[in-house]
Copies of this chain bind each other. A is one copy, B any other.
Amino acid sequence: MESKAAVLTLSALAQDTRLAIFRLLVTAGPAGLVVGRIGETLGVAPATLSFHLKELTHAGLITARQESRFIHYSANYAAMNELLAFLTENCCGGMPCGVASTVQANGACC
């Protein structure tokens, strides 16, 4: 992942409404949720919601899937994991270290 892409992804998540949308979709799983459902769950006006969905989509964090007259949005887990890996990349110059180790599976040392 490039730094530019990472900033785009982080910017997408760095906002109350969008973070709430993303976490709601993470919880919802691969089936996702339709726009109306997201809006009524989070109490967001249609135009505002559409704006934020576009931002998240543009960042690659969520994906749209048309089904009948509804559009289902679902979380893109791969994009999220790429971001997590990027953030811990080359930690401590690549030297193993024991600092606050909770995430290790992606090759990060701390």
Contacts and interface: CB of A to CB of B under 8 A. Distances in A.
Nearest to A16: B7
A47 interface: no
Interface of A: 3-4, 6-7, 10-11, 13-16, 19-20, 23, 26-30, 77-78, 80-81, 83-85, 87-93, 95, 97, 99-106, 110
A7 to B, nearest CB: 6
Nearest to A83: B87
A14 B59 CA distance: 12
A92 B30 contact: yes
Nearest to A17: B7
Interface core residue of A28, A97, A100 (most chain B CB under 10 Å): A100
